[in-house]
Structure 1
């Protein structure tokens, strides 16, 4: 019988190491006098930092930032696969077929990037991902028979999405097909928080949703925000690279975020919808720089699924997107314009 030989840091703990560095870096070298609020949302540590701009007093700004954090709660109740009270759970369970605009829009993004990857990324992976528990005290590889059975319900092309006149969407899907938006939801939520902050005349700051980083506005043209990207499997706060960003998003997806070892083999949370097992393609991390965080979130997972060569080919075909691919042996491959963002 197989057994877990070594337990590694959970996603939240790994992100906390990175987040701690990032936020300290922001306080000491990026934001001269920011107001910051933090919390535990979306199953990870999150933070929103901003300058006291727009005539806001510090107390007023802090309340606005707290309200921004509560946006995470609103969307988690819409996008969660596991919460029985969430809209997505009810959709997966067959209780409803009509969903709010935001959920339909996010599903639409998922279908778009599944098409872009020819199904290497698939938001109907939920029947399989629900078998893998990377947060357990004793994580283990599911029975292969269970995985093979769950795979029969994975196929994003069976989803039918129709936008209604009132802005809602109708979702038609087979029974037992489970939509899982965990790979792309944080980017969408980060964009919504940025829109909220801009509406409140807060135009300089940083949104960090567990490592999904979105820079709001510009710090200055000659002194941009500095964003550290975590070195895969590192337990210290020394970044692999540091990015210089203004009004951009940086999103990473990697096999070091949630993983465990069993019989000496690494199992991580980015699952191949063809096999039901984690991807094993020589990649440790993909980081995407983009204008919209949802774009970066979708592409980081999509490019990880495609692998370095096909992922780079995809990135080079897209305008305004740059990427960094970290291989399992530590070597790094950059898209043609990525170096312009390196410190």
Structure 2
């Protein structure tokens, strides 16, 4: 369920949402800023005049994302999250408000997906060789899986908040919290909030496969993004949507994996079994009000598989687009909420 930095780079290039602009005669200045963060890439596109110097804005963006990394990265030993994971006691530990926001969303989506989205699944992700520990690619024994599962579970994590701040508490000393599956969405939201604070009303920002938008592009048209078809061809578009000021995120199971004895093992781990998923859902895209929401839901739905994911999406009124592998290619299904954003769709 967690993504390594390499997985996030692959997601950006191959799975994710590529920017599509419709050309029109009437155009306006378009500023693009790019960089690296969270083991992946970020992109900021601003339509219209900038309120300040471009170089200064780039510095603010980098500083903002650097702070997010210092808070939630499991690849930095001195991050607040890494220190919490090393802590072996059960006293509440102070955490930043942004980190508390991520955990609150994770807990809510975890409950809604019957814990398919579980930010404590790190021991299993590491065991299968997809986490920061990067263990050799070997198939864990059932005893190893059972042992790791004893250290997994959202019920062991408590978030409390009052006028003085936010605290995180665990009742298992070895509980390991991994927020990387939500980090891209959180980063995209942070960029969107920065744009709003600066009075920028036309932008498209992305971190990895999570995108947030507002207003129109350089041609005065709604920002349009493309969902990649899950194939080896990098620029094959499956569907295109106009975001209309919303956010979008895609999770896929078909790029980050290893093979052994002719069997493919996905990086998406099902907490209920301790094994990589083995169903046919290969891509889940969610459109939501925030990138954090979209990023959380797409992971949980990806774990559930097509049938259960669609049921959960319908129960919660989600805008969801699912791509399933079939014997003859791919099949797609979407909720009515997603169809409202859809502009074009290729044959599966």
Contact 2:145 / 2:274 at 8 angstroms: preserved in 1? yes
CA, structure 1 residues 66+266, in 2 after alignment: closer, same or farther (shift >3 Å)?
A: farther
Shift of 1:143: 4.3
TM-score under structure 2 normalisation? 0.85
Whole-angstrom distance in 2 between the partners of 1:20 and 1:272 = 22
Aligned to 2:235, the other structure's residue is in SS state coil
Gaps of 5+ in 2: 344-348
Q: Number of matched residues?
A: 330
Shift of 1:218: 3.7
Choose which of 323, 328, 341 in structure 2 pairs with 1:326: 323
Whole-angstrom distance in 2 between the partners of 1:246 and 1:93 = 42
CA offsets, 1:288-313, max 9 Å, x none? 01111111011101111222222222
- What is the root-mean-square deviation in Å for CA atoms of aligned residues? 2.8
Contact 1:35 / 1:62 at 8 angstroms: preserved in 2? no
Contact 1:12 / 1:43 at 8 angstroms: preserved in 2? yes
CA, structure 1 residues 78+10, in 2 after alignment: closer, same or farther (shift >3 Å)?
A: closer
Whole-angstrom distance in 1 between the partners of 2:250 and 2:236 = 16
Aligned to 1:120, the other structure's residue is in SS state coil
Residue in 1 that maps onto 2:252: 254
Residues 1:39 and 2:32 aligned together: no
Choose which of 122, 125, 130 in structure 2 pairs with 1:129: 125
Residues 1:70 and 2:67 aligned together: no
CA, structure 1 residues 307+34, in 2 after alignment: closer, same or farther (shift >3 Å)?
A: same
Residue in 1 that maps onto 2:104: 108
Whole-angstrom distance in 2 between the partners of 1:276 and 1:207 = 34
Whole-angstrom distance in 1 between the partners of 2:289 and 2:195 = 16
Residues 1:316 and 2:314 aligned together: yes
Residue in 2 that maps onto 1:3: none
Residue in 2 that maps onto 1:176: 174
Whole-angstrom distance in 1 between the partners of 2:219 and 2:259 = 45
Residue in 1 that maps onto 2:85: 92
TM-score under structure 1 normalisation? 0.87
Residue in 2 that maps onto 1:338: 338
Residues 1:83 and 2:76 aligned together: yes
Shift of 1:236: 2.1
Whole-angstrom distance in 1 between the partners of 2:112 and 2:56 = 40
Within a 5 Å distance, the mapping from 1:285-300 to structure 2 comes to 285-300=283-298
Contact 1:78 / 1:87 at 8 angstroms: preserved in 2? yes
Residue in 1 that maps onto 2:269: 271
Aligned to 1:325, the other structure's residue is in SS state strand
Contact 1:15 / 1:45 at 8 angstroms: preserved in 2? no
